[in-house]
Amino acid sequence: MDKIGHRYAIQYFYLKGLSPAGIKSELDSTIGESAPLYTMIKNWVAQFKRGRTSCEDEHRTGRSYEVTTPKTVKKIHKIILDDHQLKVQELADIVDLSKSAVHRILTENLDMKKLCSRWVPRLLIIDHKQHREDVPMNCLAMFTKNKTEFLRRFITMDETWVHHYS
């Protein structure tokens, strides 16, 4: 049972007229090991006595908990691609997030790790995808700008120099 379920059970037994000790014994006999602590039961009974009717968490002010939005992840990724040597604190200052949130985005969402003062991808998956998106778009822009010059300068493979020594 989750914490919201515990709160509803406490409220039910409170409305039946049980004391916190009675509520604790009822919950222990009913749900056993997952029953809430006595202090939690006492706290919620006190809140219900003061007139609280909701068992849900109240809205809290301040910075929102969820900062790992796709927009934020993409913004951090673009900044890292521009400068791999940024420190986490500098990056946190740029995007106006906490240092721990930026570090979590770098390690969990972007799969990067710090290597010799540079942020590098672990498996290069995100960088490869970004590179595969950027190169064709640049080629298409150059092609639409000047078709003949683009085809004249476009290289399809690298030259290989092979030296033979006797």
> For the segment 41-72, what is each residue's pLDDT rounded down to a tens digit?
999 999 999 999 898 888 777 655 567 788 88
Q: Which residues contact 44 (CB under 8 A, 6 or more apart)?
A: 7, 10, 11, 14
Sign of CA dihedral 44, 29, 4, 9: negative
CATH of domain 70-123: 1.10.10
Token digits of residue 121: 């991808």
Residues 65-123: tens digit of each pLDDT:
567 788 888 999 999 888 888 888 999 999 988 898 898 898 888 888 776 666 666 66
Q: Which residue has the higher pLDDT, 92 or 165?
A: 92
What are the φ/ψ torsions at residue 93 (nearest 5 degrees)? Answer: -65, -40
Q: Which helix (H) or strand (E) segment is 87 a member of?
A: none
Calculate what percentage of the chain has a pLDDT beyond 70.
Answer: 81
Distance of CA 42 to the CA centre of its chain: 35
Helix ranges (DSSP H) in 1-160: 3-15, 20-31, 38-49, 70-82, 88-95, 99-104, 125-145, 147-153
- 3-49 maps to CATH 1.10.10: yes
